[in-house]
Amino acid sequence: MSVLVCDNISGFSRKSEYVRNFSYNFLENKIYAITGRNNAGQKNLLDLISGRIPTSEGVVYLDGYKLINGINITNRICYIDRDADFPSHLRIVEVFKLMATVYPEWDTFYAYELLTYFEIKHRTMVGKLSPSQKSILIGILNLASRADITILNMPLEDADIKDRYDFFKFLYDHHDKYPRTFIINTSFIDEIDYLVDNLIILDRGKLIVRLKISETKQSFRYLTGKTEVLKSLITGVKVIGVEERGKMLTVCIRQKLSKDEIRKYQKYLIKISDVPIQNIVIYLITLREIKGSLL
Amino acid sequence: MRKMKIHFYGFRYYYSAFVLLLIIAAALSLTVLDVYLDYLLPSLFIIFILSSILLGLYEYNRIRYLHTSLVINRKSFYKSSLALGMINAILLLGLFIGYSFLAQRFKGIEIAFINNYLFYLTFLSLNYFGYVIGNTYALLFIRKRFINLLVIVALIALFIFFELTIPIIIDFTDQIINSDVPKIIFIDAGLIILTIVLIIINNFIFKVKP
């Protein structure tokens, strides 16, 4: 069992407060995605929930035990950051050996399989890897650790779109074979929407929205039609985003549509479509910023 | 030992290069050198202390990041670091004694410290203290340019204004080796207490520092 409970945690330094009153339960065998703007505090949140840095307020529990100075967490949480700092003389094969000593479930065979797939030689020195290869290596290390909770910060951000797609496919298959909890901080949420169970959106260190990916498709819809017609139809509907191009208006509504409503929109030639999750994130953050500026 | 593997992989080249340089220097000093023979052991003593400081610096400035990149729990690194400091001091002591015997055999240098337990205590405490000082400096100051500059200025000032010259340092080191410094046992005790205090401070900083 591996349940990570964040009980009202905050993290602040002398200069700023980077995470504010974050409470959330990361349940077993689920995949979570964390997203937000660049300075929203996702990296700091990962540092706090992994026990890498102590919380300023609040407590993080792993299976009921305090994370910091509690039970031995070394091999239960794997969090190798994209900024991981390895001495440049270290070879990949040596990093694998180190991983094997730290993580009891470490899967050397799988790590080699991925290295071969991504065409990285195992004798290469870490210092000689390109940024793209380094980000792939870090992804491989996280994946092959098979730790109960695996945390990925901007995985494969430096890699190209094909490698990223393949990596997440590997992640999906591996999670299917060895279920465990993944917490992924990413900007490419649409690329991984098929594997994520829950989405957490942060803004200025605060959790603003938590969504179940499976429900977002019903809860958020795009309505597209002639501006005049659509405007008259959406009075009283909760609109979170508006895009106007020429005479056409597209609105993103946060509402489950009933059959009657769908029929009504279709009658007026309004097109109903799915909203990409990335756009939902953008609308929600924009909405919050507008609200903040009005206050 | 499994826990020390990260240290092992991180230090391999550092230690190999150090030992290689030492072997070359030792071979040269025992074959080619015919002057300044009295300087040999004190110089080696000073080199060892400096290498301990550098080791401590390298450890907390480089190996620490390797460790924290791979493993979240910092306690294992801290414990390995303490063990490594002791292993390093004992290893250097062995090398020093070994070199002293060779120097006695090939160059006829007298070694009076061999039966003096105070020498061993001083050697170990000075090297471990140097190592811990290196740790503390790497933890607190290494990325602060102003402090680094200040240290360089302080060292220059020490040499220029206080007329600290190499013969003076060598002479003082020779006294330390032969335990001729008055009340050296108190100096050793002070060093040990200071080392323990620094270890506790390091532990506290290391735990909370991102």
Cβ of B69 and A77 within 8 Å? no
What is the predicted pLDDT for the residue at A290?
A: 82
Cβ of B69 and A84 within 8 Å? yes
What is the predicted pLDDT for the residue at A204?
A: 85
Share the mean pLDDT of chain B. 85
Cβ of A80 and B70 within 8 Å? yes
Q: What is the interface pTM, i.e. ipTM, of the complex?
A: 0.76
Q: Which residues of B touch A66 (CB under 8 A)?
A: none
CA atoms within 13 A on the CB side of A138: 27
Report the residue of A19, A43, A77, A98 to disrupt the B interface, i.e. the one with the largest count of B CBs within 10 Å: A98
What is the predicted pLDDT for the residue at A145?
A: 92
Q: Is the dihedral of CA B173, B175, B179, B181 positive or negative?
A: negative
pLDDT band at B135 (very low <50, low <70, confident <90, very high): very high
Closest CB to B72 among A50, A89, A98:
A50
Token reading at A230: 């659509």
Cβ of A102 and B207 within 8 Å? no
What is the predicted pLDDT for the residue at A162?
A: 92
Does residue A85 sit at the B interface (CB-CB below 8 Å)? yes
Does residue B9 sit at the A interface (CB-CB below 8 Å)? yes
User: HEC states along chain B?
Assistant: CHHHHHHHHHHHHHHHHHHHHHHHHHHHHHHCCCCCHHHHHHHHHHHHHHHHHHHHHHHHHHHHHHHHHHCCCCHHHHHHHHHHHHHHHHHHHHHHHHHHHHHHHHHCCCCCHHHCHHHHHHHHHHHHHHHHHHHHHHHHCCCCHHHHHHHHHHHHHHHHCCCCCHHHHHHHHHHHHCCCCCCHHHHHHHHHHHHHHHHHHHHHHHHHCC
CATH number of A4-204: 3.40.50.300
Q: Give the end-to-end CA distance of chain B in Å, rounded to a whole number.
A: 26
Which of these, B65, B61, B47, lies nearest to B130 by C-alpha position? B47
* Overall average pLDDT of the B31-43 stretch: 78
pLDDT digit string, tens, across residues B43-96 = 888 989 999 999 999 988 888 888 888 888 778 888 889 999 999 999 999 999
What is the predicted pLDDT for the residue at B178?
A: 77
| pTM of the predicted protein model | 0.84
Q: List, as ranges, residues 52-111 from B with C-beta within 8 Å of A.
A: 62-63, 65-66, 68-73, 76
pLDDT digit string, tens, across residues B164-204 = 777 788 888 888 877 777 788 888 899 899 999 999 998 88
Does residue A148 sit at the B interface (CB-CB below 8 Å)? no
| Low-confidence spans in chain A with pLDDT less than 70 | 1, 69-74, 293-295
What is the predicted pLDDT for the residue at A171?
A: 94
With 80 as the cut, is the pLDDT of residue B122 above it?
A: yes
Q: Which residues of A touch B58 (CB under 8 A)?
A: none
Residue A152 to residue B110: CA distance in whole angstroms: 61
**B64: nearest CA partner in chain A:** A85
Does residue A90 sit at the B interface (CB-CB below 8 Å)? yes
Q: Is the dihedral of CA A195, A197, A203, A209 positive or negative?
A: positive
What is the predicted pLDDT for the residue at A71?
A: 59
What is the predicted pLDDT for the residue at B128?
A: 94
For helices B75-107 and B184-208, what crossing angle results, to 10°?
150
Q: Which residues of A touch B13 (CB under 8 A)?
A: 89
Q: Over pLDDT 90: what percentage of chain B?
A: 22
Cβ of B10 and A51 within 8 Å? no
Q: Where are the domains of chain A?
A: 4-204, 216-291
Residue A146 neighbours by CB under 8 Å, 6+ apart: A103, A105, A106, A107, A178, A180
**A44: nearest CA partner in chain B:** B210
Report the residue of B58, B64, B71, B74 to disrupt the A interface, i.e. the one with the largest count of A CBs within 10 Å: B71
Between B68 and B20, residue with greater pLDDT: B20
